[in-house]
Amino acid sequence: MRAILTTSVAVAAVIGLSACGFGEEGITISESEPEYKGAQLFSANCSGCHTLSAAGAEGTGNQSARVQGPNLDELEETEKSALFAIQNGGFSGAVMPQNIVVGDEAAEVAGFVAKYSGSEAGDE
Ligand code: HEC
């Protein structure tokens, strides 16, 4: 029984590995997490401006760039605040584009951000 389990896990890992390959290498959460899709979407759509290590995102790497968004490792977002930011282009509406992701995808990104943001904020 154990041998069979181990084999199927290994097979799943191989399939998982071959399925990705576009900038998702930095994602640190497991593909079996419900938030994995959100992490992929974050990596594809938000990582240019925001740091969030669970998605392997490091922003522009230049904290003084005008488009640089807040470091989400240091801010604790709720699903509501993340969704608000996505729909309204941040809280000020000045720099972050609105509705980069919409509908189900926006909800998935918001769920991911809510769960994994604030890892360096202090009180987890
Ligand atoms: C072009 C750069 C850019 C992109 C792309 C971008 N953001 Fe932002 N974001 C910003 C900036 C700048 C701010 C801060 C100003 C503001 O709140 O209006 C911000 C603010 C936020 C905030 C609020 C942070 C806080 O608590 O103050 C959240 C949450 C957020 N972004 C999430 C996202 C998500 C999720 C995505 C991808 C769907 C994304 N951002 C894509 C630049 C960007």
Can you give the pLDDT at residue 13? 47
**Residue indicated by tokens 């968004």:** 69
Can you give the pLDDT at residue 121? 85
Residue 46 CB-half CA count within 13 A:
35
CA 91 / ligand 1 centre spacing (Å): 8
Residue 42 CB-half CA count within 13 A:
34
Span 80-97, average pLDDT? 93
User: Atom 21 of ligand 1 has which residue's CA nearest to it?
Assistant: 90
If one counts every other C-beta atom within 10 angstroms of the C-beta of residue 119, the result is 16
Can you give the pLDDT at residue 11? 47
If one counts every other C-beta atom within 10 angstroms of the C-beta of residue 31, the result is 17
Report the nearest atom of ligand 1 relative to the CA of 95.
Answer: 12
Can you give the pLDDT at residue 22? 46
